[in-house]
Structure 1
Amino acid sequence: MSRRHTRQPGGTPALNLLSRSGVAFAVHEFEHDPGAESFGLEAAQVLGVAPGRVFKTLVVQTDRSVDKGLVVAVVPVGAQLDLRALAREIDCKRAVLADSGVAERTTGYLVGGISPLGQKRALLTVVDASAAGHGTVLVSGGRRGLDVELAPADLVRLTSGRLAAVTR
């Protein structure tokens, strides 16, 4: 993996954050197919990476009183978010996927390219515990066809997140 220390012109907020952070990361770009049914599974296939190492970013609406109840869940693209497990982890009663418009306005990214890094508004972030079993994981770099690879510990630190088992 390479280290990036300078801000890239025209870079996404995620790439800019990674550049400033000094952590080791690699950028993976590919031609996104607009007809792809799953952005994350498309990335795994095109990049030749096991789906368990590629993570999707989901914005969840909860009954928490802070941040308008919004929480970010980062889970493997081949797995399904367990909303009940997430609700238990963050000590709330209700959790549903947020409306895509709300997710886009809150994060500053378009659906299919929502990165857990460099979001417009920092939200509580829960990364599925399976990430810790890999040396590196890939997450969206802030647009469709752009993924970044970094160590799970760096992902958790840069999002001020926590690891928890939130998939089924």
Structure 2
Amino acid sequence: MKARMNPFEAAPAVMKELLDFGAKLKGNGLEASLTELVLIRASQLNGCAYCIHMHTRDARQHGETEERIYLLSAWRESPLFTERERAALLWTEALTLVSQTHAPDADYAAMRAHFSEEESVKLTLVIGMINTWNRIQIGFQAVHPVVSRSEAA
């Protein structure tokens, strides 16, 4: 796979603003582990290899287990996720697939049962931001870093 273009070279000022805003969102008071799960799940739904690569690495650095990362795509069937995480993942799916789901009242209510109004806004912004990044990385065919098998071993 070959990248179509590097948006950081093509529009450095606006990409820096996006990076800065994203950094603020990641430090917004929501749990780092929950935020990384949301970032990974949205990226899985969108099929963004670059973002999945980045956020699974980041999740591990925040202490996330391999088992939970592997089971994230099947979170509904796994007892490894808290009720708060489940609510965040449900809302992530509702908003990432908004053209299909239209963000149902039941999904909103499930999320609001575990998140304050302020946290709900923060979570929604995190979901919106990763969907923006997924579209940038997929649209310009960003290629995630590759470690050879011999280096990984």
TM-score by length of 1: 0.25
Give the structure with the larger helix fraction: 2
- 1 or 2 for the larger relative contact order (CA 8 Å, sep ≥6)? 2
Give the structure with the larger strand fraction: 1
> Highest Rg: 1 or 2?
2
TM-score by length of 2: 0.27
